[in-house]
Amino acid sequence: MSGSPSSSSGSEEEDEGIDSYRKGGYHAVRIADNFSAGRYIAQKKLGWGQFSTVWLAYDTESSKYVALKIQKSAPQFSQAAIHEIEILSAVAAGDPSNDKCTVRLVDHFKHAGPNGQHLCMVLEFLGDSLLSLIKYNRYKGLEFHRVREISRCILTALDYLHRELRIIHTDLKPENILLCSNINPSKDPIRSGVTPVLERPEGNPNGGVVISSIEKRLKQRAKRAVARISERRIAFELATGEMMFTPKTGQGFSEDEDHLAMMMEFLGKIPRKIATSGARSKEYFDRYGDLKRIRRLKYGSIDRLLVDKYKFSDADAREFAGFLSPMLDFDPDKRPTAQQCLQHPWLNADSETSRLNAGMNDLEIKAKK
């Protein structure tokens, strides 16, 4: 679900600039500004998106750090925030024990400022993203017990959203899935014991580093197959440190065509009915379901890729590929549900559940545009 961004990922992003700080746009925040009758006090900017900025804030009522998401004030942004609040409220209401690995909406309110009235959401503060974890591990891939643990968390959240709430998360990727805390304790305001700023400091009035944008991309009643493919991609990236497919534009063919070719090389030919039934099928496929501009394919398999390129043992590659392959079926109706994935032997191969260090066992589903 959409919520607080990672506190340290995405630092290469440019900030939001000043053009949208106007009527209908962002609310200008300064360190130590207070919200909701003084309950929440801004500490530093965590990120921004097309619809909002997100701030680390201190909750004086609970004495905890939270993520404060401040929406732009124009009607279309307010309406989007209302919809998001409805979804997050439903997610929280259906999970009173907070064991479904989804973000918690703590509070929401309206805040009046010079640029209009802004809807604000308060969410639990979370830490680094899975992308940061992959980078921290120098793109070498994680141990299988960690990949299993993380995959279980993601699938638990997806199963809850899909089966119980009929909600689909449409932007699952490593940078949008957050750990409960930071990999580096010194960067975590909770674990480092940093004293909250309760009064406005001298100097830079808009301090803070832009880390990551965070926005909602949820769609109800969509095909769950999309989310299952995303989970497969994430599991592969965690285990290998690399994306499964890295297509490129070539002489006479597009990046999309290269992507399709790579998928077919490792997963087999796309069934003719599926290849030719899409709205844009004629751009890429002939009437037989073959690619128009890439004719020679080098067929292989996922398990051989894992052995040859990533040096997995034959047994590990075979078992991991057995977990991934069903989720990659070209026919969406044949892909297993998140609930079925949770029962897969590979996912439950550990004799006992391994706990991740530094609070990395609990994950939150996030989305951003």
Residues 6+ apart with CB under 8 A from 202: none
Residue 60 is which amino acid?
A: T
Q: For position 159, what pLDDT does the model report?
A: 95
Residues 6+ apart with CB under 8 A from 357: none
DSSP 224-293: THHHHHHHHHHHHHHHHSS-S-----BTTB-HHHHHHHHHHHHH-PPPHHHHTSSTTHHHHB-TTS-BSS
Active site residue 171: yes
Q: How many whole angstroms separate alpha carbon 153 and alpha carbon 19?
A: 39
DSSP 37-75: TTTEEEEEEEEE-SSEEEEEEEETTTTEEEEEEEE--SH
Per-residue pLDDT, averaged over 284-295, amounts to 96
Contact in structure between 20 and 139 (CB atoms under 8 Å):
no
Q: What is the CATH number of domain 34-197+209-223+360-365?
A: 1.10.510.10
Q: Provide the token pair at 75.
A: 């009607």
Contact in structure between 102 and 365 (CB atoms under 8 Å):
yes
Q: How many whole angstroms separate alpha carbon 143 and alpha carbon 115?
A: 49
Dmax of the chain from CA atoms?
A: 69
Q: What are phi and psi of 187, to 5 degrees?
A: -95, 0
Is the domain defined by 225-336 classed in CATH 1.25.40.10? no
pLDDT digits (tens, 9 = 90+) for 331-364: 999 999 999 999 999 999 874 444 444 444 444 4
Beta strand 116-124 pairing with 105-113: antiparallel
Residue 121 has pLDDT above 80, yes or no: yes
| Averaged pLDDT score across all residues of the chain | 83
pLDDT digits (tens, 9 = 90+) for 158-177: 999 999 999 988 888 888 88
Q: For position 30, what pLDDT does the model report?
A: 96
Identify the residue with better confidence: 157 or 187.
Answer: 157
Of the chain, the percentage scoring pLDDT greater than 70 comes to 79
How many CB atoms are located within 10 Å of the residue 267 CB? 16
Tell me the C-alpha to C-alpha distance, in Å, between residue 207 and each of 42, 126, 201, 263: 10, 20, 10, 45
Contact in structure between 208 and 57 (CB atoms under 8 Å):
no
Beta strand 52-59 pairing with 116-124: unpaired
Q: For position 98, what pLDDT does the model report?
A: 86
Closest to 245 measured CA to CA, from 233, 235, 231: 233
pLDDT digits (tens, 9 = 90+) for 4-53: 554 443 334 568 889 999 999 999 999 999 999 999 999 999 889 899 99
Residue 184 has pLDDT above 80, yes or no: no
Identify the residue with better confidence: 369 or 83.
Answer: 83
From-to residues of CATH 1.10.510.10 in the chain: 34-197+209-223+360-365, 225-336
Q: For position 173, what pLDDT does the model report?
A: 87
Kindly name the residue from 33, 59, 128, 171 that is annotated as catalytic: 171
Per-residue pLDDT, averaged over 303-313, amounts to 96
The residue behind tokens 């897969």 is 344
pTM score: 0.79
> In the beta sheet, which residues pair with residue 48?
53
Residue 224 has pLDDT above 70, yes or no: no
Q: For position 171, what pLDDT does the model report?
A: 83
Residue 258 has pLDDT above 90, yes or no: yes
Q: Provide the token pair at 43.
A: 């500490």
Q: For position 1, what pLDDT does the model report?
A: 42
Is residue 135 a known part of a binding site? no
Identify the residue with better confidence: 367 or 166.
Answer: 166
